[in-house]
Amino acid sequence: AKHKGKSAYSRFTPEMTEISHERLQMESYMRKAMELGEFELYFQPIIDTHSGKLVSAEALLRWNNLALGMVMPDRFIPLAEETGLIIPIGEWVIQEACKAARNWQTLTGNPIGVAVNVSPRQFRDPGFTDAVMRALDASGLSAELLELEITERLILDNSIETADILRKLDRSGIRLTVDDFGTGYSALSYLKSYPFDTLKIDKSFIQDVLTENDDASLVRAIITMAHSLGLKVVAEGVEAEAQTHFLKEEHCDYSQGYFYSTPLPEQDFIQWLDTNER
């Protein structure tokens, strides 16, 4: 207690204790969250830019905890990754997403796809592909309607296993999307060697596409490159009508963002389908 002031030592303890306490608390809540049924999927429409029609929806995870309130994924996915809890949680997400999409097809008579985010640790788990196949079987959803979104960071590890898993998923008919495209330090060459179907341009590029010439140039270049490689393009974070005009002119295939709809709880999404698709 004699050492006051900013010694390196005294600077650390109080905050670190607080952070690790909060972490431990959250981890212990998270361990029980699954059986308590605290996770919920929201769905955000993905729209054909030209026709304005719905093609699929992205499943986005929410955690409703009594003590913590609604926790957004940016706050708990990293911890779920570190603890390995992402593996059972991620499996649940894929099962629920497949069931939901099968249900939309029953309700509307139209095939509607579902896109699911896959985190690196989940993807590398040896049971991953089997879990995906089981979810498809159990739901009766056709593989072509399931899309897996994988970030560039994962792809860049460049391992043989990554390539093998991607090929296996591709052969089964599942669609593969590069998520957050443009935010990693991509070598781009992976686009040629891996069986991706779609690039999703990160919202950080779409945000200022009308005001920043550089962002507009990048988006244009990404769309041209993707198309010449036979890939479809999704723009995420579309918030204003003027952005949709730009994306239409630049032949961006699909769009997603608050302009069309925020992510919705399943029942609200079904209602959205009802008012927008008939």
**104 sits in which H/E element:** helix 86-108
From 23-31, 37-45, 197-205, 262-270, span contacting Ca ion (CB under 5 A) = 197-205
Task: Please tell me whether residue 57 adopts helix, strand or coil conformation.
Answer: strand
239 sits near ligand C2E (criterion: CB under 6 A) = yes
| Nearer to Ca ion (CB atom), residue 104 or residue 181 | 181
Among residues 55, 61, 114, 233, the one that binds ligand C2E under rule CB under 6 A: 61
What are the b/e assignments for 201-215, b being 16+ CB within 10 Å?
A: bbbebbbebeeeeeb
99 sits near ligand C2E (criterion: CB under 6 A) = no
117 sits near ligand C2E (criterion: CB under 6 A) = yes
Task: Please tell me whether residue 205 adopts helix, strand or coil conformation.
Answer: helix
CB of 176: closest distance to Ca ion in angstroms? 6
CB of 209: closest distance to ligand C2E in angstroms? 12
Contact code string over 49-68 relative to Ca ion, x by CB under 5 A: --------------------
From 9-17, 67-75, 125-133, 165-173, span contacting ligand C2E (CB under 6 A) = 67-75
12 sits near ligand C2E (criterion: CB under 6 A) = no
Nearest Cα to 211, choosing from 239, 170, 171?
Answer: 239
Contacts with Ca ion in 99-158 (CB under 5 A)? 117, 149
CB of 77: closest distance to ligand C2E in angstroms? 5
Nearest Cα to 129, choosing from 82, 170, 99, 101?
Answer: 170
- The string of DSSP codes covering 213-278 is HHHHHHHHHHHHHHHHTT-EEEE----SHHHHHHHHHTT--EE-STTT---EEHHHHHHHHHHH--
State the Cα–Cα distance between residues 140 and 239, nearest whole angstrom.
34
Q: CB under 8 Å to 270, separation ≥6 — which residues? A: 103, 104, 107
Q: What does 182 interact with, of Ca ion, ligand C2E, none (CB < 5 to 8 A by kind)?
A: none
State the Cα–Cα distance between residues 220 and 68, nearest whole angstrom.
42
State the Cα–Cα distance between residues 253 and 81, nearest whole angstrom.
32
Q: What does 197 interact with, of ligand C2E, Ca ion, none (CB < 5 to 8 A by kind)?
A: Ca ion
CB of 28: closest distance to Ca ion in angstroms? 28
* Contact positions vs Ca ion (CB under 5 A): 117, 149, 170, 179-180, 195, 197, 202
* Contact positions vs ligand C2E (CB under 6 A): 44, 60-61, 72-74, 77, 90, 93, 117-119, 179-180, 203, 236-239, 257-258, 263
